[in-house]
Amino acid sequence: MNKLSIFSTKVILVISIQILPFTIHAQQKDNKVSQTAGFPVRQETVGEYEEMMKNLRFEEMEEKILKEITLAKKRKKDVSALENLQEQCNRGLQMLRGTDKVTIIDSVVIDKKRFLDGYKVPVELGKLRLAEDGKSTEFETERGGRIYKSEWIDGKLQLISYYMEDGKPAHKKRITGLDVDGDLNYPFLMTDGITFYFAARSAEGLGNYDLYVTRYDYDEDKFYRAENLGFPYNSYANDYMMVIDEENNIGWFASDRYQPEGKVCIYTFIPNRSRHPYDYENEDHATIMQAASLHSFKSTWNQSNEQARIQAKQTLAFLENQSHKAKAYEFTLVINDNYTYHYYNDFHSVEAKKQCKEWLQKKSSLNMTNQQLNNLRDQYTAANSAKKKTMEKQILDMEKQVEALTAEAKESEKKIRNLELK
């Protein structure tokens, strides 16, 4: 199977760098974990080489290992352990070379036990909830009502799916073909019905939970072999619960890297349609390592993605507003990275305020047309062949209207910022 594009839902693209996960082999610290810490618990490792791997210092590690191997061979000592470390190092370096250029727009640190509060998931994506055991999640698709969750099978958490009929699970089956051994958890299926994300705690991963992506083949009724998402989505810590909102071009994932016990950071980012690795041969390695480890998400910001960040923050603010309806904002408009307006009185420019009213009218027309288009699509699904031919032109015409209204709204929004910041 071709390597999967990380976030593409329209087509399947090829990842240019093969991602080979590696495992940290080291003595684990005694874990005296508080009962209130939440799940998953982060397992720490100790050792000089383990610290190098955690900090992505693979080139330095490789050089040190080669020296030790050379010295050990001269002394006629066994070098198998060092060669295993060298192999892990090479895999880590290959993964670093494939670091994806992703734009993180925000992050929030939250208690692990209520980490889903950090996801502003629209109802159109489905229902995401914590399972009763508190150690797994359940995802229910919006259309079809299929539920994906983890279940203990042969001593491991494995992914299953089923429907609810008369209040009971029906058509239950285990998800196979992923080719990942270990605990599998935190499932999410995109609205395309094809792209499937989950997290796995496997000996083949970076350590703790890693994020994976796979694809469902309707013709064969199976999932393909899953791919480790690599850097920066994964780390030595727990990285899990990837959610992609393709309609709004927003994504979320959780990570307890750099966090104290019981806390987790929810990163919000702009999903790439295909993977965009850094040019490792020509770009600064320190910059790539910083991006891969997400020490500071603002390091992913640059002038070329400024407009995309503004749009994403605008969308995120809207989604947050929807989830906090008690806040009676007149509107939500991101002006730049530092200012978000919610009221007409926030404006300094009279012209910008006037343009804002026109923008809201365009947004209203766009939302109404989108709703009409969705209704028409639903009718098309249930129509007979003769009716579908008539409806196809209506759908195409309305799609063009949506495209035009979207462009008008974006242009109007841009004018508001230019007028306000002039």
Q: Where are the alpha helices (DSSP H) in 244-384?
A: 285-293, 306-323, 350-382
Q: Are residues 293 and 343 in the same domain?
A: no
Same domain, 278 and 146: yes
The three-state secondary structure class of 391 is: helix
Q: Does the global pTM surpass 0.95? A: no
**Do both 127 and 247 map to the same domain?**
yes
| Closest by Cα among 261, 230, 293 to 42 | 261
Residues spanned by the domain of 341:
333-421
pLDDT tens-digit map of 225-271: 999 999 999 999 999 999 999 989 999 999 999 999 999 999 999 99
Mark whether 236 and 358 lie in a shared domain. no
At a CB cut-off of 8 Å and minimum separation 6, what does 66 contact? 86
User: For residue 369, how far is the Cα from the chain centroid?
Assistant: 29
The predicted pLDDT at position 14 comes to 32
Instruction: List, in sequence order, every residue forming a beta bridge with 269; answer none if it has no partner.
Output: 104, 251
Share of the chain above pLDDT 90, in %: 54
Which residue, chain included where needed, has tokens 């300094």?
348
The count of other CB atoms within 10 Å of the CB of residue 323 is 13
**How far is residue 288's CA from residue 278's CA, in Å, rounded to a whole number?**
7
Residue 71 lies in a domain: no
Three-state secondary-structure class, residue 28: strand
For residues 321 and 313, what is the distance between their CA atoms, to the nearest angstrom?
A: 12
Same domain, 159 and 267: yes
Q: Quick one: 295 and 362 in the same domain? A: no
Residue 176 contacts by C-beta under 8 Å, 6 or more apart in sequence? 222, 223
| Whether residues 176 and 261 fall in one domain | yes
Encoded tokens for 65: 């290992």
The full DSSP string for 175-227 is -------SEEEEEEE-TTSSEEEEEEE-TTSSSSEEEEEEEEETTTTEEPPPE
Q: In a structure prediction context, what are the per-residue pLDDT tens digits for the chain, which is 422 residues long?
A: 444 545 544 333 333 333 334 443 344 444 433 444 679 999 888 889 989 999 999 999 999 999 999 999 999 999 999 998 898 888 889 889 999 999 999 999 999 999 999 998 888 899 999 988 888 999 999 877 899 999 999 999 999 999 888 778 888 999 999 999 999 999 999 999 999 999 999 988 888 999 999 999 888 888 999 999 999 999 999 999 999 999 899 999 999 999 999 999 999 999 998 899 999 999 999 999 999 999 888 888 989 999 999 999 999 888 887 776 534 577 888 898 878 888 888 898 999 999 999 999 888 888 888 878 887 887 887 788 888 888 888 899 989 999 999 999 999 999 999 999 98
pLDDT in tens, 313-368: 999 888 887 776 534 577 888 898 878 888 888 898 999 999 999 999 888 888 88
Domain boundary among 282, 302, 322: 302
25 in a structural domain: no
73 lies in a domain? no
Give a yes or no: residue 185 inside a domain: yes
Residue 25: predicted pLDDT: 38
How many C-beta neighbours within 10 Å does residue 404 have?
A: 12
Upstream peptide bond of 232 is cis (omega within 30 degrees of 0): yes
Q: Does 363 reside within a domain?
A: yes
> How distant is the alpha carbon of residue 243 from its chain centre?
5
Q: State whether 231 and 377 are in the same domain.
A: no
Report residue 375 as tokens.
């209704």
Instruction: Tell me the sheet residues that pair with 91.
Output: none
One-letter amino acid at 300 equals T
Six-digit token pair at 155?
A: 């001593």
Residue 386, C-beta contacts closer than 8 angstroms, at least 6 positions apart: none
Residue 118: how many CA atoms within 13 Å on its side-chain side? 25
Whether 289 and 339 map to the same domain: the answer is no
Same domain for 228 and 127: yes
In a domain? residue 327: no
169 cis-preceded (ω within 30 degrees of 0)? no
- Number of structural domains (the chain) is 2
> Are residue 121 and residue 220 in the same domain, yes or no?
yes
Q: Phi/psi at 13 (nearest 5 deg)?
A: -110, 170
- Compute CA distances 261 → 43, 61, 208, 237, whole Å: 11, 28, 14, 12
Find residue 170's DSSP bridge partners: 163
- Kindly give the pairing relationship between strand 156-165 and strand 168-174: antiparallel
Give 226's DSSP letter.
Answer: P
Which residues on neighbouring strands pair with residue 45, listed in sequence order? 28
